[in-house]
Structure 1
Amino acid sequence: MEFNERPELNERDKALKYVSRLLDKASKDPKGNQKDINELLEVQKLINQKKYGLVWEEHAEKVDKEMETKIPVFIEDKNKRIDNGESKKINFILEGDNLHSLYLLEKTHNHKIDVIYIDPPYNTENEGFTYNDKKVDKNDGYRHSKWISFMQRRLVVAKKLLSRDGIIFISIDDNEYQNLKLLMDEIFGEEKFVTNFIWRRKTGASDAKGIATITEYVLCYCNNPNKKEWNSIFKQNEQSYDEKRYRYKDKYYNERGPFYYDNLDRGGLNYSDSMNFGVKAPDGSIVYPNGRTSFVNDGWIWKWGKDKIKWGFENGFLEFQQSNKKANGWALKYKNYLNVDNSGKLKVRSAPFKNLITSVINQAGTNELKGMFENKTPFSNPKPVELIQFLVSLCNKKDARILDFFAGSGTTGQAVLNLNNKDGGNRTFILATNNENGIAENITYKRLKKLSEGYTTSRKISEIIFQKKLTISSLKNMNVTLDKIEKVIKKNNGKYQKIVKKISDNTIQVIGEYSKGTLMPQIQFNMRYYKTDFVRRDSGNLEMDLLRNVKKLIELGNEMSIKDLHAAIVSRQSEVKKLNLRGIKRVYMRGRVHIMMSPDEKNRYYLSGVQIIDVPESLFGEELQGWI
């Protein structure tokens, strides 16, 4: 039977048809009440009214309907294993339709993913996108609604995968930006919108008509709606602070750095008599907040209490300065040091990153792939590694789980590995992609395989290792910036064949370069390659069919092998007694086998400290409902 992708009926359509039937019945009834008819007409009008938000005609999708009769499972291609042993954590490539992969990830990674980055099809007029194995082009009247339906199904699952503080980044351009923003507000919540990154993807477009568009966007949402916590969820820019303010030095310079002065008294704070007291000045006079010479409740207080003021004088954090602006002739000031807080504890000055990205252009992505694939371009318009690396680095977790379910050429995987190399992180990635035109096997996998083995570059490769926007403030304090640059160069000395400095778009950059023919060093990581397969729901032995695929899901969910997990799988009653529990911490056991365990068998597992986890109930419980 030919698949019908016409718009699906939705709740609004059903409600309208129901009201229409009631109206038809009421109008034909000779005793019909006109008041009822008028009220039904009003209900019909209200249903038809345009509501705020995104409204589209939902379309059926083959891969979605397919799961009504078949259950996706993973099989491993063991020939594509990458084992380096330095880390027990495993990364994954999932080959197949990403909706099937998301279906299984919902079982293994519910609320476990820290960062999602996706670069979905942009649905441009010329390129369109593939929907139900057909190209959707500009002549398709349902072009936009099909794209929204396609994205909505995947983003609903994506939300379930994000951890409490999880972050999602989505690349997009003008074609679907407005639809994606409304869709994201609907699924994730408008209160979780963080920002819209503006990425300058190229510097010019001389062949443009009217106005040259040189930007794209990256929408960013945080699953935690509490904005007060965002500064700890997102990494802060440690190179972004007002250096010119820290212009004074004292005897503590080597440990505390430079400082600036600030007044210790404040008005408008929560008033308290206990914070309104006299402090002895160098001339023996007693000074009060707001330049007073006596106690008056005028709303002004000291920022510090008596004990801390005593500590401040003893440790060089406080200083009296003569002032003709104060009635008492003195200003009590505290020192804001660059490298410590006002309790003397080490502090790194920082500020939030900005939502404008100008340091990397799209061509860099193509050059990177050419450098790995014999100067050929196996994938059109790949995103630059530097772009994804920057986005992933904004998550303030060095052990973050990263998911890309439009993985394409595998840029996200390389970005994660590069970032780990750069800052010593232990992040892991999951890349889901189809194998259309051999993308998964011949590009995504081969790219990561080359990184694990080392490869010879077929063209020059560049990497930004330091950059700073030039401002009036930074120019006045250029010696500080130059010191940082020298430290970066010293740290990376020997890593690159050449390190160059340049100024581009009012930004000073330090770039590490590998020339053509350079043998790139290996990156140590572990990876598994899974392919989507299916189990029929009408299978006569559904439970055992699903159990055969449990191992892959357990390893995927824990990012470790069964061996490294100190775990075992028990599917049959005979295996309960035979299993050697030495070194075993947990056993994934078939539910009915667990129920049939004798008291002695249960006691043996209990005394050995073994945790029993029911399978497939823990992974395939919904699929088995009503089967047994």
Structure 2
Amino acid sequence: MRILLDQVYGAENFISNVVWIGSGSSKVRFSRGGLDYMLIYAKDKKQAPQWWEPKDNAQDILNFVAKQKEKQVTIDEAELALKKFLKVNQDKYAAGLASYASIDSQWRVFTTASIVNSLDRPNLKYDITDPATGVVYPHPDKGWTLSKSTYQALYDKGMIVFAGNRPRKKYFLEDNMTQKPQPIVQESRSKAHSQLEKIIGKNNFRYSKNVSVLKKWFNIVSGNQKDVTIMDFFAGSGSTGQAVLEMNAEDQGTRQVVLMTNNEQDIATTVTLPRLRNIISGDWVSGKQRPLLGLLEIDESLLKVEEN
């Protein structure tokens, strides 16, 4: 597949091979399998947007601190509570996120990072004085990472703290809520079939995709744009259509989706179309759900099977 797509899009436009680790089978002699691959290309890699995704659980930290502020505790008390909260939930937070354990006078959550240079920079060698204490910090052997003017501008903005034997730069969590995505997905595909049954009832389609995974990667590869067109040449059960409808409902986007299928084994008429109709109307077999097109009427002319 990679060789074929290199010929279609150009090897220079290949971006990533995302590995989807789903449920494997134990009824094998060697490997359980359960791997799928999403090969991602751009029409023009140079024009493709950068990829970002929200940091898992980052909002939980901001919410926790906001509740401490509502309790009218002191900042020192709130910071101590935050450190305990992060320790108790250490399995939930990556090391980088767990480092956001400090609160400034404006109730902003922050971490700090070294401004010591790892490369020798003679023009960045200057001593720094802490105005509050008068302590002078000699420049490190290879200099700082900041020019004197940049350092002063950051200090004036309250972005420099003096901790230990070095000044350090502040990084606020609210300004660092995203991260670069890893090209790995770990989610069982069984969830997708379970949801499909809730929407249209019992069916023979066993290869539906997880809507949550599709939504995540549609957002990532589109640079979180809300007005893109998403086309699926192998529509299958219609997971792509549901994903786009849910995304628009969640962020008031105007994305469009085009689904195509050859209707093999009547999949379009027995699975894809019933799923889309039920998703749009909210009439799931398992019970009433929120309609995903609000008060708009369903245009059945857009939900049809064209015979060859």
TM-score (norm 1): 0.38
Look up the match of 1:522: 291
Look up the match of 2:268: 440
Look up the match of 1:191: 12
CA distance in 2, matches of 1:312, 1:386: 40
Q: Which of 325, 331, 334 matches 2:169? A: 334
**1:287 Cα deviation (Å)?**
5.6
Tell me the secondary structure at the aligned position of residue 196 of structure 1: strand
CA distance in 2, matches of 1:522, 1:279: 61
CA distance in 2, matches of 1:207, 1:310: 65
CA distance in 2, matches of 1:300, 1:338: 27
Structure number with the bigger relative contact order (C-alpha 8 A, sep ≥ 6) is 1
CA contact (8 A) 1:369 1:378 kept: no
Tell me the secondary structure at the aligned position of residue 15 of structure 2: strand
Q: Which of 87, 94, 97 matches 1:243? A: 97
Look up the match of 1:268: 119
Cα-to-partner distance string for 1:33-88 (whole Å, 9 max, x where unaligned): xxxxxxxxxxxxxxxxxxxxxxxxxxxxxxxxxxxxxxxxxxxxxxxxxxxxxxxx
Tell me the secondary structure at the aligned position of residue 285 of structure 2: coil
- Name the CA shift for 1:224/1:318 in 2 (closer, same or farther; >3 Å): same
Look up the match of 1:206: 26
Q: Which of 129, 140, 160 matches 1:290? A: 140
- Counterparts of residues 86-101 of structure 1 (less than 5 Å): none
Look up the match of 1:314: 156
Tell me the secondary structure at the aligned position of residue 434 of structure 1: coil
CA distance in 1, matches of 2:164, 2:35: 54
CA contact (8 A) 1:241 1:351 kept: no
- Name the CA shift for 1:358/1:319 in 2 (closer, same or farther; >3 Å): closer
Look up the match of 2:226: 398
CA contact (8 A) 2:278 2:284 kept: no
CA contact (8 A) 2:236 2:268 kept: yes
CA contact (8 A) 2:121 2:143 kept: no
CA contact (8 A) 1:289 1:302 kept: no
Tell me the secondary structure at the aligned position of residue 290 of structure 1: coil
**1:285 Cα deviation (Å)?**
7.6
**1:284 Cα deviation (Å)?**
5.6
Q: Gaps (5+ residues) in structure 2?
A: 57-93
**1:278 Cα deviation (Å)?**
4.8
Q: Gaps (5+ residues) in structure 1?
A: 1-179, 292-298, 324-330, 340-346, 459-517, 535-628
**1:455 Cα deviation (Å)?**
1.0
- Counterparts of residues 327-366 of structure 1 (less than 5 Å): 331-339=166-174, 347-359=175-187, 361-366=188-193
Tell me the secondary structure at the aligned position of residue 300 of structure 1: coil
CA distance in 2, matches of 1:199, 1:302: 39
Root-mean-square deviation (CA), in Å? 3.1
Tell me the secondary structure at the aligned position of residue 170 of structure 2: strand
Letter in 2 for 1:337: F
CA distance in 1, matches of 2:270, 2:130: 77
- 1:389 paired with 2:215, answer yes
- Name the CA shift for 1:434/1:266 in 2 (closer, same or farther; >3 Å): same
Cα-to-partner distance string for 1:339-391 (whole Å, 9 max, x where unaligned): 3xxxxxxx1332222222112x2222322222222x32053422232332232
Look up the match of 1:377: 203
Q: Which of 249, 258, 261 matches 2:110? A: 258
**1:220 Cα deviation (Å)?**
1.8
**1:320 Cα deviation (Å)?**
4.4
Letter in 2 for 1:206: S
- Name the CA shift for 1:334/1:439 in 2 (closer, same or farther; >3 Å): closer
Tell me the secondary structure at the aligned position of residue 433 of structure 1: coil
- Name the CA shift for 1:270/1:390 in 2 (closer, same or farther; >3 Å): same
CA contact (8 A) 2:193 2:208 kept: yes
Tell me the secondary structure at the aligned position of residue 242 of structure 1: helix
CA contact (8 A) 2:191 2:210 kept: yes
Tell me the secondary structure at the aligned position of residue 18 of structure 2: strand
Work out the percentage of aligned pairs sharing the same amino acid: 22
Look up the match of 1:431: 259
CA distance in 1, matches of 2:160, 2:3: 52
CA distance in 2, matches of 1:338, 1:217: 33
Letter in 2 for 1:242: G
Larger of the two Rg values belongs to structure: 1
Letter in 2 for 1:312: L
Tell me the secondary structure at the aligned position of residue 198 of structure 1: strand
CA contact (8 A) 2:203 2:271 kept: no
- Name the CA shift for 1:218/1:287 in 2 (closer, same or farther; >3 Å): closer
- Name the CA shift for 1:372/1:314 in 2 (closer, same or farther; >3 Å): closer
Letter in 1 for 2:197: K
**1:532 Cα deviation (Å)?**
5.5
Q: Which of 445, 455, 458 matches 2:283? A: 455
- Name the CA shift for 1:369/1:260 in 2 (closer, same or farther; >3 Å): same
CA distance in 1, matches of 2:148, 2:161: 16
